[in-house]
Structure 1
Amino acid sequence: MTDEREQLIEQAVRRAFGSLAEDRTIGAGGLCELAYAFVAADVPDATQEETQAAFASVWGLEPADRALYEHVLAVGDRHSPGDGETIERVLQRASRGGDMEATCLLALVKNAR
């Protein structure tokens, strides 16, 4: 991917973030979906992988951490985080509700400490 192409995609992702800066009802997964529309307007042939890479770059995620982050986002989106609810609390609540992915993610957090 060329530097100019990467910059166009990243700028589009940033515009998607800015358009929802005050909206607390959309989850991060939904925000990523919205970003695809912004990217498509500027770079019509952009791939999903390019958009996800730009999304991760804007949020300061290293490529190696992105897969784990996407799993956490998926759990968060499924369980609708409340205002001020931390990621760990969402995972705990999801785990108590029987979400095995949340249980595994909590085990990773515990092992990392």
Structure 2
Amino acid sequence: MFFNNTPLTIIWERESGQISQRNPSEKWVQYFEVRLKMLQWIKNTQTAYYKKEEALYKDSLFGILRIMAQHDLKKANQLFGEHLGKAYRPSPQQNHCTKGYLMLYRIFGFRGAEQFRRWFGT
């Protein structure tokens, strides 16, 4: 693992409005896409490390998609299919879901489990 302590962030002040006031779905899509780019960089430059931690990376993307699903289930499901797919299984060790959610996920898949969560608040 490596750490770069160099400050590389530039913050621009806006004359009016804030990015955080945008549509929540758009914010989560952008957040997800930035994380994908970061993971692609790790995959391309630190291949062995990526392979070792791949399940953790996919679980983090899954967590983002679960939050996004609260705002836009259709888009979250689309991104799930494109980047995680049917072969993905959430890790029970992660804090993204309960045992009940994992059972629903195994039976109904991502979209079905998230729809159930919307209806019943699990």
Whether the TM-score (by the shorter chain) exceeds 0.5 is no
TM-score, normalization by structure 2: 0.29
Structure number with the bigger relative contact order (C-alpha 8 A, sep ≥ 6) is 1
TM-score (norm: length of structure 1): 0.31
The structure number with the bigger radius of gyration is 2
Bigger share in helix:
1
